[in-house]
Structure 1
Amino acid sequence: MPEVIKISPNTILLKSDPTLPLSSAWFAPEFWQSQQALAGTGNGRGAVWFINSHFGQFVIRRYRRGGLIAKFNKSHFFFTGLKNTRPWLELSLLEYMCSIGLPVPRPIGGLYTLNKGFYRGELLTQTIENAQDLFDIIKTGNSTTVNWQEVGAVVKRFHNEGIYHSDLNCHNIMIDQNGKVWLIDFDKCEQRPQEERWKQENIDRLKRSLDKESNLHPQFNISNAQWRTFLEGYRG
C-alpha cells in the first residue's frame, strides 16, 4: 500500500517508491520546467506530462473527468475518503500488479488536494522506455511488425489475475523496442472475480477501438488475420 504523507491539512502525498525524494513539487509541471526536465506533454484520460530528470524518466497524469460533466468540472472529484481517491486506487493496483510480475509502469507516487469536499489528483509513474503505443505502430504502417499472438497472451495474463481494464484500447497497449507488451492507464480499473462476461467485454472494447481508428485514419489498417492471431494468443 502507498505510504501516506500529510503535506498540509488539505494536501496528501502518496508514496510508492521509498528510494526517491518525492515531494508535492514533483506533481507540478512548472517545477520540472524550471529544472529543464519537462520533456513533453500528451493527452489520454488525463492531462499528461513527460519528465526526463536526473532522478529518472516519469509520467505525470492529472485525473480529469469525461463526458458532459467535463464542460463545467474538468478535474475535481467528490471526496469520500482517502482509499476511494483515484490516486490511491490506481497506485494500490499498480503496486499489486508489479508484485506479481505483470507488465505495467512502475508506480512512483500520487497526490491529492482537497477543497470544499472535492479533490484534485495526480499520479506519477515511471516511463516505459523506448516504447510506442499500438495506435502509433499501426498508424505508421507497421502493424505487421506486431507480434499479435503475444499481445493476446499478455491481455490473457491480466485476465487470469482478475485484472479488469476499464479502457482497454490501442492507446493503452505499448510495445517496447524488445517487443515486450505493456498495459498502461489503470484509472478506474480493478481486480474482479473470474467471470467470462467482463473479460469478453474487454476484448470487445479493444476491437471497437481498432475499428474506430481504422474508420478515422485511412492508413490505420489491421487485417482479419492479425485479429485472429491476437485471439489465438489470448486463447493460448
Structure 2
Amino acid sequence: MPQTIKISPNTTLLKSNLTLPISTSWFDPSFWQSQHALTGTGNGRGAVWFINSEFGQFVIRRYRRGGFIAKFNKSRFLFVDCKKTRPWLELNLLEKMNELSLPVPKPIGGLFTVQFGFYQASLLTETIPNARDLFDIIKENQSKDVDWSNIGRVIKQFHNNGIYHSDLNCHNIMIDNQQKTWVIDFDKCEQRSPNKDWMQSNINRLKRSIDKESNKHANFYVSEEQWQTFLEGYRG
C-alpha cells in the first residue's frame, strides 16, 4: 500500500519505494532537465518523460483523459478520496503484482494536486531496461522473431492471478533483449476474481489492437499462425 504524505493542503505525495528521496520535484520534467537527466518523451495514456538519473532510470506519466471529454477536460479528475485517485490505485496494484512476481514495472511514487474538487496527477515507475513495445517490434518487420507462445503464457499468468488489464494492446506489451515479456500501463486496471468473460475480453482487445494497427500501417503484419501460437501459449 503506498505511503501517503501530505505536502500541502492541496498536494499529496505517494511513495511505494521508501528508500529513494522522492520529492515533488521528481514529478517535474524541467527539474530532471536541469539535472541533464531527461532522456526522452513519449505518449500513451498520458504525457510521458524518460529519466536517467543518479538514483536510477524512471518514467514519469501524467494522467490524461481520453475520448470526447478530453476535448474540454484533458487532465482533471473528480476527487473523492485519496485511495480512489488514479495514482494511488495504480501504485497499489503494481505493488501487489510485484509481490506476485509478475513482469511489471516497479512502482516508485505518485503525486496529485486537488483544486476546486478535481485533481491532476502523475505516476513514477522504474524503466524496463533494454525493452521495446510489441508495436515497434512488429512495425519493424520483426514479428517472426517474437516468441508468441511466451506472450500467451505471460498473459495467462496475469489472468490466473486475477489481473484485469483495461487496455491490453500491442503498445502495452514490451519485450526486452532477453526475450522476456513485460506488461505496462495499469491505469484503471484491477485485481478481480478470475472469470472467462473478462479474460476473453482482454484477449479480444489485444487482437483488435493488432488488427487496427495492421490496417493503419502497411509494414505491420501478424500472421494467423503467429496469433494461433499466442493462443496455444495462453491455453497452455
Q: Return the alpha-carbon distance in structure 2 between the equivalents of residues 105 and 70 of structure 1.
A: 27
Is structure 2 residue 73 aligned with structure 1 residue 73?
yes
Q: In the alignment, which residue of structure 2 is the partner of 1:12?
A: 12
Q: In the alignment, which residue of structure 2 is the partner of 1:223?
A: 223
1:77-92 aligned at under 5 Å gives the runs 77-92=77-92
- Amino acid corresponding to residue 103 of structure 1 in structure 2: P
Residues 82-125 of structure 1, C-alpha deviations (whole Å, 9 max, x = no match): 01000000000000000010000000000000101000010000
Q: Return the alpha-carbon distance in structure 1 between the equivalents of residues 214 and 72 of structure 2.
A: 32
1:139-218 aligned at under 5 Å gives the runs 139-218=139-218
Q: In the alignment, which residue of structure 2 is the partner of 1:43?
A: 43
- 3-state SS, counterpart of residue 97 of structure 1: helix
Identity %: 69
Q: Give aligned pairs, total.
A: 236
- 3-state SS, counterpart of residue 8 of structure 1: coil
- Amino acid corresponding to residue 16 of structure 1 in structure 2: S
- 3-state SS, counterpart of residue 21 of structure 1: coil
Residues 3-33 of structure 1, C-alpha deviations (whole Å, 9 max, x = no match): 1111111100000001100000000111101
1:166 deviates by 0.2
* Structure 1 portions without partners, runs of 5+: none
Q: Return the alpha-carbon distance in structure 1 between the equivalents of residues 103 and 141 of structure 2.
A: 25
1:194 deviates by 1.4
1:114-129 aligned at under 5 Å gives the runs 114-129=114-129
Q: In the alignment, which residue of structure 2 is the partner of 1:136?
A: 136
1:74 deviates by 0.4
- 3-state SS, counterpart of residue 152 of structure 1: helix
**Structure 1 length-normalised TM:** 0.99
Q: Return the alpha-carbon distance in structure 1 between the equivalents of residues 84 and 5 of structure 2.
A: 16
Q: Return the alpha-carbon distance in structure 1 between the equivalents of residues 222 and 182 of structure 2.
A: 19
Residues 117-137 of structure 1, C-alpha deviations (whole Å, 9 max, x = no match): 000010000000000000000
Q: Return the alpha-carbon distance in structure 1 between the equivalents of residues 11 and 102 of structure 2.
A: 31
Q: Return the alpha-carbon distance in structure 2 between the equivalents of residues 152 and 234 of structure 1.
A: 4
Is structure 2 residue 67 aligned with structure 1 residue 56?
no
**Structure 2 length-normalised TM:** 0.99
* Structure 2 portions without partners, runs of 5+: none
1:193 deviates by 1.1
Compute the RMSD of aligned alpha carbons: 0.4
- Amino acid corresponding to residue 61 of structure 2 in structure 1: R
- Amino acid corresponding to residue 59 of structure 2 in structure 1: V
